[in-house]
Amino acid sequence: MSSTAGSALLKPFVHWGQNKQFVFVRVEIAEIEDSPTIEILEEKLNFKAYGLGVTGMNFYGFSLDLYHNINILKSKYKITARGVEIELKKVGGDDENGACEKWPRLTHTPKKLFWLKTDFDRFAFDSSDESSENEANSGNGFNEFGDGYYKNANKEMVDRFHRQFKEADSETSSFDTRKHLKTIYLMLYNLFQWIGYVYIFSMLLVKLYLEGPESRKAAFKTFGPQMMVCQSIAVLEIFHSLLRWVKSSLVTTSLQVLGRGFVLFVVILPESKLHERDVVWCLFLTWSAVEIVRYPYYMLTILKREVGLITWLRYTVWIPLYPLGFIFEGTVMLISLPLFEESKKFTYPLPNPLNISFYFTIFLQLYMLLMLPGSYFLMQRMYEQRKKKLNENSDNKKTSIGKKTK
């Protein structure tokens, strides 16, 4: 792959420098969402991330064939508020602290890349090495803002790049404030939901232990208000996805939130004869069991942290719990059919002023039929995410693609 591979992606500003042992690469992308894809290979550096670059919030990436091989075991990177800093360990030197070969450029070929510039502050050599450093700063393929480039480039184009860089730099500070506020809000939201579901889950089991099976008949009376609060607030997750504050799929999130809301507020709440059914207790317990794992995972994701056990649980507990949840939801609706048929709630037969009839029981039966492909879609989506995430974690353990610093 050439150094300009991945041209479909927007290119971020990239700065590079070196000393006797390391090559330093700094990628100018702020407000990075999720973990960037960074591959540090012996002869190549691949990068892809979604964040704030010179053209605003977007996907940025590049692939560079390096001038020389590197030691991937001693290379590392870290994510900062202003971008990603990568340290590539040079190969060579008499000992661990010995000097290595000075690179005349970052890339294998001297092709000029307008988005790649020299970080003069990161060039650290003895005075005897000035000639090599000057060579690195000439128009040899990577220092598009060096003296050689200024002599040959159109002044207006150079000024335009400088303006873009300064605008991106000034925008970063304002976006930092917005990012912190968004992070605080999302943390508080997920924490509130987690506390709510932990309370429901634990108290359902505590009451079952203390009062026996009869306590299940009081599940809705005792914990229905708390469940309705949590499910009402969960509507915000649709807007979080719509605003791209989180990476969750809008379709998947909407199906799950609106599906639960329909069962809780349209089926269970209006029909009092359902409130004492044991299946409601089972449904509340299943919903809560899913969420007490999901929300901690989201909080860790917001903080750009990962705990192996939480990640594994997030992508594993759904395997028994999602089918159980769909079964309990379907059971609730099946039980409700004769009850709604008897009460005629939400049913508007003819004649009426609108001259349109609506039978809720027929609608409910159609909804139950649509649940089958909807349930399959959600579980298939979770299966794909599980396979991708757990395989990714497994690959990270088996291969050395750089060590992430904290």
Q: What's the pLDDT at 121? A: 73
According to the 3-state scheme, what is the secondary structure of 176-215?
Answer: HHHHHHHHHHHHHHHHHHHHHHHHHHHHHHHHHHHHCHHH
For residue 161, being part of any structural domain is answered with no
* Count of structural domains, the chain: 2
In order, the DSSP letters of 236-259 are: HHHHHHHTTSS-S-HHHHHHHHHH
Among 118, 153, 188, give the residue marking a domain's end.
153
Same domain, 249 and 384: yes
| Torsion angle (degrees, nearest 10) of CA 149, 151, 157, 160 | 80
| Same-domain status, 354 and 210 | yes
The pLDDT, as a whole number, for residue 166 is 56
Within a domain: 158: no
Residue 166: inside a domain:
no
> Is 180 found in the same domain as 44?
no
Helix pair 219-233, 250-261: axis angle to 10 deg: 150
**Which pTM value belongs to this model?**
0.61
Residue 163 lies in a domain: no
Q: What's the pLDDT score for residue 124? A: 64
Same domain, 367 and 260: yes
Are 147 and 237 found together in one domain? no
Are 376 and 257 members of one domain? yes
Confidence class of residue 143 from pLDDT cuts 50, 70 and 90?
very low
As a whole number, mean pLDDT of residues 315-321 equals 95
Q: Is residue 77 a contact partner of residue 85, using CB atoms and an 8 Å limit?
A: yes
- Three-state DSSP state, 98: coil
Top-confidence range, 102-116, 131-145, 146-160, 365-379: 365-379
* Mean pLDDT value across residues 181-190: 95
Q: Which domain holds residue 141?
A: 13-153
130 within 8 A of 100, measured Cβ to Cβ = no
Query: Which letter does DSSP use for residue 107 in this model?
Result: B
pLDDT of residue 7: 47
Label residue 164 by pLDDT band (50, 70, 90): low
> Both 356 and 247 in a single domain?
yes
In a domain, 406, yes or no: no
Residues 213 and 354 in one domain: yes
Same structural domain for residues 357 and 228? yes
Is 347 a domain residue? yes
- E-assigned strand segments in 259-406: 403-404
CA dist., res. 125 & res. 129, Å (int): 6
- Give the mean pLDDT of 283-291: 98
> What gap in Å lies between CA 23 and CA 13, rounded to an integer?
17
Residues 388 and 274 in one domain: yes
- Mean predicted confidence (pLDDT) in 365-384: 94
Measured in residues, the chain has a length of 406
311 and 252 together in one domain: yes
Strands 44-53 and 56-65: antiparallel
The residue-averaged pLDDT of 186-214 equals 97
CB-based contact 295:239 (threshold 8 Å): no
The CATH number of the domain where 78 resides is what? 2.60.40.790
Q: Tell me, yes or no, whether 180 lies in a domain.
A: yes
| Alpha carbons 299 and 113: distance in angstroms, whole number | 38
- Distance between CA atoms of residues 189 and 324, nearest Å: 26
115 inside domain: yes
3-class DSSP assignment, residue 25:
strand
- Classify residue 67 as exposed, middle or buried by CB count within 10 Å of its CB (0-12, 13-18, 19+): buried
**CA-based nearest residue to 183, from 284, 81, 302:** 302
Q: Are residues 212 and 350 in the same domain?
A: yes
